[in-house]
Amino acid sequence: MPTYVLTDKCKGCMECVKICPSDIMHIDATQGRAYNIEPSMCWECYACVKSCPEAAIEVRGYADFAPLRHLVMPTRTTDRIDWKIRMRNGDLKEFSFPIRTTPWGSIRAPQETPEPTPDAVASELLAFEPDYLAVEALPTLPKPPRGG
Amino acid sequence: MSMVENPAAVPVRTVECDILIVGGGFAGCGAAFEARYWGRDLKIVVAEKAAIERSGAVAQGLSAINCYMGMRWNENQPEDFVRYVRNDLMGLSREDLVYDIGRHVDSTVHLFEEWGLPIFTDPETGRYVREGRWQVMIHGESYKPIIAEATRKAASEVHERIMVTHLLPDATDPKRVAGAVGVNVRDGSFYVFRAKAVIVCAAGASHIYRPRSAGEGSGRTWYPPWATGSAYALLIQMGAEMTQMENRLVVTRFKDGYGPVGAWFLLLKAVASNAAGESYESARLPELRERVGAYADAKPMPTCLRNHLMLQEILAGRGPILLHTERVLTTPEKEAIGWEDFLNMTIGQAVTWASQGIEPKSEPSELILSEPYVMGSHAVCAGAWASGPADVAPSEYHWGYNRMTTVPGLFGAGDTIGGSAHKFSSGSYAEGRLAGKAAVAFVRDHPDLPTVTAAQIESLRATVYAPLELGARRSIVTAGTVNPELLQPDHALTRLEKIMDEYGGGVSANYTTNRALLERGLHHLATLREDLPQLVARDLHQLQRAWELQHRVWTAEAVLRHTLFREETRWPGYYYRADFPHVDDERWKCFVNSVYDPATGNWRLFTRPYHPIV
């Protein structure tokens, strides 16, 4: 449909509503459960599928070109994602990939690093350069002679 | 009547800050990070249409970082990158901007690795695994959530579900930017952001041209459906000078699912053929030389020319074009790489394979050319004309602050900045960092908050909520979507896409247009514009769609005007001016720029010279 929501699983927790980049996962007022309000603006990005704590959201390929009888479903944990793929002929495939090498929340904020001197804002260097370039100095060129 | 049906009753929330970042994609995330590093005491605010963990072009994830020099291993230098980009863009680039991305992008990628992004590394050499000369492979499912974590820590505030509709000019000096306004599409409140500097990091555009899948599948555009051209519409209406808006992108992709081909061609070394199994590129070189001269023999072959050769083969009736995945998925490891490529960044392609029953290790897949997109960070360079870095920019390309547009205080990065292609995710983040640092310098030099009047706010509030007001009025029809007085956002979008497709060189026209077609297209666009005051919204979601549509119309108009002005076919395979079918270096090896005058409503088009720096 892109995405569709299974009635018996959805608890209306809003996680999909909060994350959908296209603003198309909304809560149905009478059922109190989520649904895709605008399938033609769904990118099949799976942001809602991955965010759903009940595994209530699945994807049926676009009606324009996708025959029925298939399923591509992920399970995402803190450090990996596992995929199960059911092909049209019933064959199953499974793949598993890492997603992050450090704990969530562990990134050092820029303001937690030593403060640069006020005059450094006039230089061409970005934060942590040239160290993080892993070369001796930021490359530059002789000022071009042309161009007014 | 609920509050959103009566604009006068809508609550106004005013957010005052030093730096406002519009759009929390890769460029915006980079801007927030870097602005905080240099401006510890500043109030730095991000306004985002969705939620930054899954917003922008990288919402879904990626399988590669497409811009990395590898200077530490002497794999490439920024000069090499300039030559590559110049070549791929058929000789035209803002080389100062390109060089600047090249020399800074490695430190950005090293940050990403430190933060926890898994990058494929060769255990023997310790180097990143290359997909191609410029690309490194990643396990990038969580690329955006990782980057967003740093942004959440760096920004003072992240305001989400805000559809930014307009930039705010300074009331005493309309040529200077003073902030932005938008709608919170959850509670309907009207946001007024007042800022000393604004960095627009919004998106390029899908759905300017009619997509190949036009029903439920119209969401399966290559660039996401939420990329609505805000990068251009916001700036154009402020009178910012734009460049290369004619340089739209067509990509070679797996048919229907639009899975990318990079890993298949570059890493897995798959080949493409026509239906008979024949390779077709070399046989078509003589015709290509006649059309574009020496560019036909440029190495690597420019992206648009590869498109061109495929298109000619299809038009000659020798399709479908096939990518021979079955010849390269020879081991379980390679099969996993092939599937991961899509599961990380284009899951819809995996869904396409599963549903169509395509087993890539035993049969080839069809390739196709996509509908055109308008953007500035891939193999094209539409966007704003911006000041370059002080030490390498020719003086004509430099006016004080890196990545500042021609509007004082208004900066950009990513899709927003023109003339500088091949940024991709890492380069867009690096450019956001450059703009973020420059904006801190600007705020230090201009510490006063620009003037905004109540009259400005009231006028914009009435404009922004007008579609909801129309939706709340008693309808003259019983039910349904047909109404002679009202224009629904989805109807207007279909109309726009049809105009652009048929007159502006879309898929149904084989990417071909000419002066008469473009003038006709501009006429139809003008009548669409006349109808836009009748745009109606029945809820806040539709109000967002209404303003996205407005932004797409501005973007489309710039594309048509620029395409009309450039009397040559510089990028065959992206589009063709049938009345000027050749590359014309004598007249047109220069930038096509435009300025819209908000006071008069007039557009001015002109050229700017190209200056090579390496």
- Tell me how far CA of residue B59 lies from CA of A85, B299, B344, B491, in angstroms: 21, 33, 10, 27
Question: Which tens digit of pLDDT belongs to each residue from B132-163?
Answer: 999 999 999 999 999 999 999 999 999 999 99
Nearest Cα of chain B lies from the Cα of A52 at a distance, in angstroms, of 14
Task: Report the C-alpha gap between B83 and B143 in whole angstroms.
Answer: 29
CB–CB of A83/B367 below 8 Å? Answer: no
A102 token code pair: 């450090």
End-to-end CA distance of chain B: 63
Answer whether residue B401 shows pLDDT above 70.
Answer: yes
Candidates B54, B115, B444; nearest CB to A47: B54
Beta partners for residue B180, in sequence order: B167, B193
Answer whether residue B1 shows pLDDT above 50.
Answer: no
Candidates A64, A88, A106; nearest CB to B216: A64
| Active-site residue, B222 included | yes
Question: In the predicted model, what is the mean pLDDT of residues B332-360?
Answer: 95
pLDDT band at B9; cut points 50, 70, 90: confident
Residues with Cβ within 8 Å of B39's Cβ and at least 6 positions away in sequence, in order, are: B18, B19, B440, B443
Instruction: Give me the phi and psi of B520, to 5 degrees please.
Output: -65, -45
Residues with Cβ within 8 Å of A123's Cβ and at least 6 positions away in sequence, in order, are: none
Number of other CB atoms surrounding residue A98 within 10 Å: 13
Please, what CATH class does the domain formed by A3-98 belong to? alpha beta
Residues of chain B in contact with residue A62, where contact means CB-CB under 8 angstroms, are: 213, 215-217, 219-220, 256, 348
Task: Report the C-alpha gap between B204 and B223 in whole angstroms.
Answer: 9
- In chain B, the residue whose alpha carbon lies closest to the alpha carbon of A131 is B107
Let me know how many helices (H) and strands (E) chain B has, helices first.
Answer: 16, 19
Partner-chain contact A134 B72, CB within 8 Å: yes
Task: Report the C-alpha gap between B242 and B37 in whole angstroms.
Answer: 30
Of B464, B457, B455, whose CA–CA distance to B550 is shortest?
B464
Partner-chain contact B72 A135, CB within 8 Å: yes
Residues of chain B in contact with residue A121, where contact means CB-CB under 8 angstroms, are: 38, 437, 440-441, 444
Partner-chain contact B72 A39, CB within 8 Å: no
Question: In the predicted model, what is the mean pLDDT of residues B544-549?
Answer: 98
Task: Look up tokens 């001269």; give the residue.
Answer: B293
B26 token code pair: 């890769």
Please, what CATH class does the domain formed by B252-369 belong to? alpha beta
Range B427-430, long-range pairs (CB < 8 A, 24+ positions): B427/B67, B427/B101, B427/B105, B427/B377, B428/B25, B428/B26, B428/B27, B428/B30, B428/B377, B429/B26, B429/B27, B429/B29, B429/B30, B429/B108, B429/B147, B430/A126, B430/B30, B430/B101, B430/B104, B430/B105, B430/B107, B430/B108
| Active-site residue, B554 included | no
HSE on the CB side for B599, CA within 13 Å?
Answer: 4
Residues of chain A in contact with residue B344, where contact means CB-CB under 8 angstroms, are: 97
- Classify burial at B585, counting beta carbons within 10 Å of its beta carbon; exposed 0-12, middle 13-18, buried 19 or more: middle
Partner-chain contact A21 B50, CB within 8 Å: yes
Instruction: Choose from A48, A49, A65, A78 for mutation: most chain B CBs within 10 A.
Output: A65
| Active-site residue, B341 included | yes
CB–CB of B82/B58 below 8 Å? Answer: no
Percent of chain B with pLDDT over 70: 99
Q: Degrees (nearest 5) of the Cα angle B105, A20, B192?
A: 75
DSSP B126: -
Task: Report the C-alpha gap between B46 and B159 in whole angstroms.
Answer: 6
pLDDT band at A142; cut points 50, 70, 90: confident
Q: Which helix (H) or strand (E) segment is B113 a member of?
A: helix B95-115
Edge-to-edge strand list for the sheet holding A80-86? A71-76, A80-86, A92-98
Question: Which tens digit of pLDDT belongs to each residue from B236-277?
Answer: 999 999 999 999 999 999 999 999 999 899 999 999 999 999
Residues of chain A in contact with residue B99, where contact means CB-CB under 8 angstroms, are: 141
Q: Is B258 helix (H, G, I), strand (E, B) or coil?
A: coil
Partner-chain contact A64 B56, CB within 8 Å: no
Question: Which tens digit of pLDDT belongs to each residue from B458-508?
Answer: 999 999 999 999 999 999 999 999 999 999 999 999 999 999 999 999 999
Partner-chain contact B33 A110, CB within 8 Å: yes
Nearest Cα of chain A lies from the Cα of B283 at a distance, in angstroms, of 33
Instruction: Give me the phi and psi of A96, to 5 degrees please.
Output: -145, 130
DSSP B373: B
- Omega of the bond leading into A130 within 30 degrees of 0 (cis): yes
Partner-chain contact A106 B103, CB within 8 Å: no
Number of other CB atoms surrounding residue B76 within 10 Å: 17
Instruction: Give me the phi and psi of B278, to 5 degrees please.
Output: -90, 140
For chain B, the structural domain boundaries read 12-248+374-445, 252-369, 454-608
Partner-chain contact A133 B150, CB within 8 Å: no
pLDDT band at A148; cut points 50, 70, 90: very low
Q: Which pLDDT belongs to residue B5?
A: 61
- In this predicted complex, what is the ipTM? 0.97
Length of chain B, please? 614
Partner-chain contact A121 B444, CB within 8 Å: yes
Nearest Cα of chain A lies from the Cα of B348 at a distance, in angstroms, of 6
CATH architecture of the domain with residue range B454-608: Up-down Bundle (1.20)
Of A37, A25, A44, A45, whose CA–CA distance to B490 is shortest?
A37
DSSP B209: S
B349 token code pair: 């392609």
CB–CB of A94/A83 below 8 Å? Answer: yes
Residues of chain A in contact with residue B60, where contact means CB-CB under 8 angstroms, are: 43, 45-47
Instruction: Choose from B185, B342, B351 for mutation: most chain A CBs within 10 A.
Output: B351
Beta partners for residue B195, in sequence order: B17
- Where would I find the H helices in B357-451? 424-445
Task: Report the C-alpha gap between B197 and B200 in whole angstroms.
Answer: 10
Partner-chain contact A43 B77, CB within 8 Å: no
Candidates B221, B224, B355; nearest CB to A67: B355
- In chain B, the residue whose alpha carbon lies closest to the alpha carbon of A142 is B392
Question: In the predicted model, what is the mean pLDDT of residues B560-570?
Answer: 98
Of B187, B162, B196, whose CA–CA distance to B24 is shortest?
B162
Of A85, A47, A4, A39, whose CA–CA distance to B351 is shortest?
A85
CB–CB of B165/B183 below 8 Å? Answer: yes
Candidates A46, A66, A124; nearest CB to B391: A124
Task: Look up tokens 């497709």; give the residue.
Answer: B501
Q: Which of B18, B36, B63, B66 is catalytic?
A: B66
Please, what CATH class does the domain formed by B12-248+374-445 belong to? alpha beta
pLDDT band at B173; cut points 50, 70, 90: very high
Q: Is B205 helix (H, G, I), strand (E, B) or coil?
A: strand
CB–CB of B450/B196 below 8 Å? Answer: yes
Q: Which pLDDT belongs to residue A147?
A: 59
Task: Report the C-alpha gap between B587 and B92 in whole angstroms.
Answer: 13
- In chain A, the residue whose alpha carbon lies closest to the alpha carbon of B160 is A18
Tell me the helix, strand and coil percentages in chain A, rounded to 5: 15, 20, 60
CA dihedral sign, ordered B42, B46, B51, B55:
negative
Answer whether residue B227 shows pLDDT above 90.
Answer: yes
Question: Which tens digit of pLDDT belongs to each residue from B60-70?
Answer: 999 999 999 99
Partner-chain contact A21 B56, CB within 8 Å: yes
Q: Which of B48, B95, B100, B131 is catalytic?
A: B131
Q: Which pLDDT belongs to residue A1?
A: 55
Nearest Cα of chain B lies from the Cα of A29 at a distance, in angstroms, of 14
Q: Which of A6, A38, A41, A43 is catalytic?
A: A43
Candidates A46, A105, A144; nearest CB to B149: A105
Partner-chain contact A45 B391, CB within 8 Å: no
Partner-chain contact B117 A61, CB within 8 Å: no
